[in-house]
Every structure is written in C-alpha cells, then in structure tokens.
C-alpha cells in the first residue's frame, strides 16, 4: 500500500517535470521520458500489475495534453509496464547494465507502438521516425536513467535508511 502511494506521488512529480523542466534539456528535439522511466522502474520493482495500472493512469494524464489521440499514451504506457513487469522474473535485473538494456528496449517498443498507432503518421514513415527520433529517445532516456540511478545510489550510501 505504501509503495503504491509512493509510486503515485513519484509519477505525479515525473509528469510535472516532464511537462515543465524536461523540454529545456532537449537535444536535437529529443527529450528523455521520465514517465516511462518511472513506469519501467515500477515494473522492475513491483511487478506487472502495478506497472500496468500506473502506466495506464499516467498515460491518460499525458493524453489530456493531446486529446486528438486520447488513450494512445495510456495504452502504450500500460503495455510497456506490463511487458517489462512480465519479463522481470526472467532476468537478473540487479546489474545496472541489465536495467539500462531493459529500459532502452522498453523505450524502443513504446516509440514503435506510438508511431504505428498514431493516426497522423503514415505507416511508411515509421522506419524514418524510429531512426530519427526513436533511437535517440531510447539512448537519451537510458542515459538519464543512468544518471538518476547514480544519484540514488550515492544518496543511499550517504544517507542510509
């Protein structure tokens, strides 16, 4: 119960940061996806059920900013959370390299689903969009996740709970 409240608060914070602060650190029009980063974290730590529910809820919040495709982010985030959560038991996800690989693959699958299902993108443009934006988005989100993981590890060592 307490972890669910913590996850909800962290997702709200990530959503606020994603819409306010994160656009200022874009590189070539690409920004890291804090919300998806947190959905993957929830999937790795709490399993597929919480990740699916929280992914859907925060995706619905993201969809309020682009109501023409209402439900698309909710679906894609829920599927990403479910997919990572289901595969969680098949990997030893304690090593940072494994977690970053899982995050990178989750972002690529998320973006592929978004580009395929979005009605404004012709299906023939999907390979270009994945190469132009998807790869950069995945690498930038993984790099951002690496920095966040480093700060969390440093905090854990300096301030033991």
* pLDDT tens figures, 131-160: 999 999 999 999 999 999 889 888 888 887
Between helix 2-20 and helix 34-46 the angle, nearest 10°, is 160
User: What distance, in Å, lies between the first and last C-alpha atoms of the chain?
Assistant: 19
Q: What is the pLDDT of residue 65?
A: 84
| Total domains, the chain | 1
* pLDDT tens figures, 66-81: 778 889 999 999 999 9
| CA–CA distance, 88 with 53 (Å, rounded to integer) | 16
* pLDDT tens figures, 93-108: 678 888 899 999 999 9
Return the C-alpha torsion angle 62, 66, 71, 72, nearest 10: -90
In angstroms, what CA-CA distances link 124 with 30, 58, 136? 21, 29, 20
Q: What is the pLDDT of residue 63?
A: 92
| CA–CA distance, 156 with 15 (Å, rounded to integer) | 24
Give the CATH number for residue 63: 1.10.1760
Q: What is the pLDDT of residue 161?
A: 66
Q: What is the pLDDT of residue 120?
A: 84
* pLDDT tens figures, 84-137: 999 887 877 678 888 899 999 999 999 999 999 987 888 999 999 999 999 999
Q: What's the pTM value of the predicted model, to 2 decimals?
A: 0.90
Q: What is the pLDDT of residue 93?
A: 66
What average pLDDT does this structure show over 41-63?
A: 94
Domain that holds residue 118: 2-158
Q: What is the pLDDT of residue 10?
A: 93
| CA–CA distance, 99 with 107 (Å, rounded to integer) | 12
């Amino acid at each position: 119960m307490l972890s669910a409240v913590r996850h909800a608060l962290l997702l709200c914070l990530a959503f606020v940061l994603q819409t306010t602060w994160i656009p200022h650190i874009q590189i070539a029009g690409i920004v890291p996806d804090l919300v998806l980063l947190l959905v993957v974290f929830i999937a790795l730590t709490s399993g597929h059920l919480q990740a699916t529910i929280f992914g859907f809820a925060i995706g619905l919040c993201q969809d309020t900013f682009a109501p023409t495709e209402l439900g698309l982010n909710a679906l894609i985030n829920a599927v990403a959370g479910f997919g990572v959560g289901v595969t969680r038991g098949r990997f030893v996800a304690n090593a940072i390299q494994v977690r970053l690989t899982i995050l990178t693959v989750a972002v690529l699958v998320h973006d592929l689903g978004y580009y395929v299902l979005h009605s404004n993108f012709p299906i023939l443009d999907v390979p270009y969009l994945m190469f132009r934006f998807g790869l950069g988005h995945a690498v930038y989100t993984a790099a951002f996740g690496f920095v966040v993981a480093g700060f969390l590890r440093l905090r854990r060592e300096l301030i033991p709970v």
